[in-house]
Amino acid sequence: MAGPPALLVLLLVVAAAAESGRTTATPDGCAAPADSGSTLRVLHAFGPCSPFHSPSASWEDTILDLLSRDDSRFLYLASLATARRSFVPIASGRQLLQTPTYIVRARLGSPPQSLLLAVDTSSDVAWLPCSGCAGCSPSSDAPPFDTSRSTTYRPVPCGSQPCSQVPNPTCPAGAKACGFNLTYGSSSLLAVLSQDSLSLATDVVPGYTFGCLQKAAGPAVPPHGLLGLGRGPLSFISQTKNLYASTFSYCLPSFKSLNFSGTLRLGPAGQPKSIKTTPLRSSPRRSSLYFVDLVGIRVGRKVVDIPPAAIAFDASTGAGTIFDSGTMFTRLVAPAYAAVRDEFRRRVRGAGDVTSLGGFDTCYAGPINPPAITFLFAGMNVTLPADNYLIHSTAGSLTCLAMAAAPDNVNSVLNVIASMQQMNHRVYFDVANGRLGVARELCTV
Ligand SMILES: *[C@@H]1O[C@H](CO)[C@@H](O)[C@H](O)[C@H]1NC(C)=O
Ligand SMILES: *[C@@H]1O[C@H](CO)[C@@H](O)[C@H](O)[C@H]1NC(C)=O
Ligand SMILES: *[C@@H]1O[C@H](CO)[C@@H](O)[C@H](O)[C@H]1NC(C)=O
């Protein structure tokens, strides 16, 4: 049943917001188009059509919440450099500290059961709540996976090869299934390493390996699972190498988008033929991550003065710049951010006093005429439309530069090109040919 490589996969992507795990009813007009052919729709987590949307949260609260999630995520990304293993462990606690921003609808088992999986380019995790899980927080939008109703489900035995790739496997004497523990914030979780048939649109991935959650203790267990699009051996991309040739692309719609209008495309078919690309880099210190060579940043016509060490790629330390779908706002190491911000402020001088909002330190109360911001990658310059680096309050009165310095408690040289800066672009991950492409594409309706 595996589709020909020409298939596009239509994914339904929603964003995850509800810390409580509670969800709201799907509003009218939000019916998701059926998966068909090869194109899946994408919606931002905080969009009105997301099952995780919280209608009561104000814009400011939402932004501050997003930014604080980014802090935890940054810690996770930074922590990868210190991992002893050369791959990201499946479902390590720190990976789950962040609530990912985009979710795909997938089907698992035989007969297939629907579920929501967060798309995360920096994670190899495959993790989802299973029925009978004590302490999980299922919802009607994201019910747990019922293993007993699937004829193709099987636990992965202790001593098997996938079990050896899990950190801290628990295989007490007599245990048949490979279990492992993880933490999620202050929650601790127990999962059984499992395999079953995963379907995305019309494609089937038999024997897909994931962690089936059995036990959760503590608050804030998300109702959805995780689909890791990272580069490690247990990631979705590695597990589907034969089907998708390590190739995918996405277009993330604006988080204000009302509908499921973005797309995730798996496999080489239907990918852009002519697209600007830059070489992909990989670091054994952070082997899951998609590194690129950022060589400079232009604000208006000026290439700002950034110390080379702040942006240089270094495979041996894991320093450099990554593209990440799970961080909301671009983070630059402090000297790089300061250079961009200072030039930005200089260019909008006259627009009134600079104020701040949460972690954003460059906000204006009135309208501004912003300079263009261009990321200069090796062989590829990407000039962002203002929508990719300015956020406006719902009332329209406050405009902020939507980037920030990396948290200063992280001793780590890592710049993250985040989802806000990628929205309404096709971002193309051609791992087989070692390149990443970016092209403008409107996918917000
Ligand atoms: C969302 O898309 C569906 C299907 O394409 C359409 O029927 C619906 O009216 C749209 N809703 C909004 C709010 O745009
Ligand atoms: C994992 O969790 C189980 C059950 O909660 C516990 O018995 C076991 O000791 C834990 N193992 C590790 C390595 O923490
Ligand atoms: C990118 O921009 C820089 C600075 O403006 C310029 O020197 C360089 O030639 C450009 N590179 C490409 C690939 O267009």
Rounded to 5 degrees, what are φ and ψ at 441?
A: -155, 120
Give the single-character DSSP code of 7: -
Cite the DSSP H helix spans in 28-157. 59-79
| Two domains, one topology: 41-266 and 276-440 | yes
Residue by residue, pLDDT tens for the chain (445 residues) are 333 222 222 222 222 222 222 223 344 555 555 544 444 555 555 555 665 555 666 666 666 666 666 666 666 666 665 433 322 222 222 233 344 467 777 889 999 998 877 778 887 767 889 999 988 877 676 789 999 999 999 999 998 988 888 767 888 888 889 998 876 556 677 899 999 999 887 788 899 999 999 998 876 566 778 788 988 878 889 899 998 899 999 988 777 665 556 778 888 888 888 899 999 999 888 888 999 999 999 999 999 999 999 999 999 888 999 999 878 889 999 999 999 999 999 999 877 889 888 788 999 998 899 999 999 999 999 999 999 999 887 666 789 999 999 876 556 788 999 988 999 999 999 999 999 999 999 887 6
- Would you say the CB of residue 78 lies under 6 angstroms from ligand 3? no
> How far away, in angstroms, is 376 Cα from ligand 3 center?
7
341: helix, strand or coil: helix
| Ligand closest to CA 299 | 3
Residue 173 burial (CB < 10 Å; 0-12/13-18/19+)? exposed
The rounded Å distance from CA 249 to ligand 1 centre is 23
CB atoms within 10 A of CB 226: 26
**Phi-psi category of 8—alpha, beta or left, where left has phi over 0 and alpha has psi -120 to 50?**
beta
Range 41-266: architecture per CATH: Beta Barrel (2.40)
Handedness of CA 249, 253, 254, 260 (dihedral sign): negative
pTM over 0.85: no
Buried b (16+ CB within 10 A) or exposed e, 383-413: ebeeebbbbbbeeeebbbbbbbbbbeebebb
The answer to whether residues 293 and 321 touch, using CB atoms and an 8 Å cutoff, is: yes
Ligand 1 neighbour 258 (Cβ under 6 A): yes
What is the Cα–Cα distance from 65 to 48, expressed in whole angstroms? 17
pLDDT at 60: 65
The domain 276-440: what is its CATH number?
2.40.70.10
* Domain ranges within the chain, ordered by starting residue: 41-266, 276-440
What the block records as the tokens of 404 is: 């920030």
Expressed in angstroms and rounded, the spacing between residue 164 Cα and the centre of ligand 2 is 17
CB 315 within 8 A of CB 81: no
- Confirm or reject: Cβ of 434 under 6 Å from ligand 3: no
Mutate which of 381, 382, 384 for ligand 3? The one with the most ligand atoms within 8 Å of its CB, which is 381
What are the CA-CA distances from residue 173 to residues 158, 170, 176, 178, 179 (Å)? Answer: 10, 10, 9, 11, 12
Give the mutation target among 12, 49, 259 for probing the ligand 1 site: most ligand atoms within 8 A of CB.
259
Any ligand 2 atom below 6 A from CB of 202: no
Is the CB of 170 inside a 6 Å radius of any atom of ligand 2? Answer: yes
Q: Is 376 in the pocket of ligand 3 (CB under 6 A)?
A: yes
**What is the model's pLDDT at position 94?**
28
Q: What is the DSSP-derived secondary structure letter of residue 386?
A: G
